[in-house]
Amino acid sequence: MRTTLISKVTGLDSANDTARRHGIYGTDLGIMWDDAAGRTFVLFGDTYGQGWCGNGAGPREADWRCNVLAVSTNRDLDNGLRLDSVFARPDGHARQVIDRDPRVDEETIIPCSGVSIGDAHYVHYMSVHKWGSQGRWSTNYSGIAVSADGGETWAKPAGARWINRAERDHPFQMGAFALGEDYLYLLGTPNGRWAGASLARVGKSDVLDTRAYDYWNGYGWYPRDEFRAVPVMRGNVAELSVIYSTHLGRWLAIHLDEALGALVLRSAEALTGPWSDANVLVTSRDYPGLYGGFIHPASARGSALYFAMSLWPSYNVYLMRTDLP
């Protein structure tokens, strides 16, 4: 499989000119999902404006926002990912859409995955308690935020949270949605980048009720107790993104493997596995400081897989293309 860089999506010298247009000088992630009208929502992580340090994240005084949301309608991705608009403040710059939690000791709130079902938009997020080193951090909890007005406002219901415990080993602190015919599935990993991914499912009308989730225990679905879940995808799974490819007739997953220093691709006929071994797409030898790997919804069709890759040194997002077999 051949992977190529298409274009820089965000930053001072990007085709979208996000610094001047939207006050986005530095940002990362870029999780993507479509709505019923075919618009692609692009949700970025920690974002900085004028005064950004120019190398990695920070400082907070540089118009720091934990997350910002853009909308794209173009499908000619070989010419780049065009951002049509952002959800903006009165000054026209992108505003934070999912708020922090003042009741806990929280560094930031990071989006992990998004999906729309009917008129509702759902985002899985993590409340970061403390950043560590070498791909390690701790979370207060993970949760699902919801918007019923097309992304303008977001709520974080208390019943849609998975509280991390003192051991900091909760298996669903970073999540990747996978929309099936009858259920919404959630592949989850603990906080950090050094564990495998477990699987949960929920009826599409019960997404905001964690008590309604079932967890795959290796033999079948077990209700409520997420600690009964066993990993369906082993290894160092981080920043996971999943989509069903009609071209291959298989589920595809991109994730960061911190030990390899690479974004890798895995596939499976069923979300319960078995998942293939990791196929390296891009490595840190060619793209130092890479992470992320969030799939564009248009990749569900056709023989090309498009995804957003983050680079830490430039602290911005790039659109990549992989040609599938």
pLDDT digits (tens, 9 = 90+) for 232-263: 999 999 999 999 999 999 999 999 999 999 99
Question: What's the rounded mean pLDDT across residues 114-121?
Answer: 98
The pair of structure tokens assigned to 229 is 């879940």
Terminal-to-terminal C-alpha distance of the chain: 7
Give the pLDDT band of residue 24 (cuts 50, 70, 90).
very high
Mean pLDDT of 65-89: 97
Alpha-carbon separation of residue 112 from 4, 127, 302, 303 (angstroms): 24, 11, 25, 25
Q: How far apart are CA 14 and CA 4, in angstroms?
A: 17
Give the per-residue pLDDT at 224.
87
Complete edge-to-edge strand list for the sheet that includes strand 174-179: 174-179, 183-189, 198-203, 214-216, 221-223
Q: What's the pLDDT score for residue 267?
A: 98
Name the residue with tokens 């890759």.
309
pLDDT score at 90 = 97
Neighbouring CB atoms inside 10 A of 73's CB total: 12
- The pLDDT, as a whole number, for residue 251 is 98
Mean pLDDT over the full length of the chain: 97
pTM to 2 decimals? 0.98
Predicted local confidence at residue 81, as pLDDT = 98
Query: Hunting for tokens 């992470």 — which residue is that?
Result: 291
Please tell me the predicted confidence (pLDDT) of residue 221: 98
99: CB partners within 8 A, 6+ apart: 109, 154, 156
Enumerate domains of the chain plus CATH numbers. Answer: 3-323 (2.115.10.20)
CA–CA gap between residue 268 and residue 263 (Å, rounded): 17
Please, which pLDDT band fits residue 1 given cuts at 50, 70 and 90? Answer: confident
Per-residue pLDDT, 102:
96
- How is residue 296 annotated by DSSP? P
Phi-psi region of 75 (alpha: psi -120 to 50; beta: other; left: phi over 0): alpha
User: Strand order of the sheet with strand 262-268?
Assistant: 238-245, 250-257, 262-268, 279-283
Q: Which helix (H) or strand (E) holds 245?
A: strand 238-245
Task: Supply angle C-alpha 163, 176, 124, rounded to 5.
Answer: 50
Q: Please give the pLDDT value at position 283.
A: 98
What integer pLDDT is reported at residue 134 of this predicted model?
87
pLDDT at 25: 98
pLDDT, average across residues 25-41: 97
- pLDDT at residue 145 greater than cutoff 90: yes
Residue 172 has pLDDT above 90, yes or no: yes
Question: What would the pLDDT profile of 44-56 be if each residue is shown by its tens digit?
Answer: 999 999 999 999 9
Sign of CA dihedral 133, 32, 153, 158: negative
Mean pLDDT, residues 175-190 taken together: 97
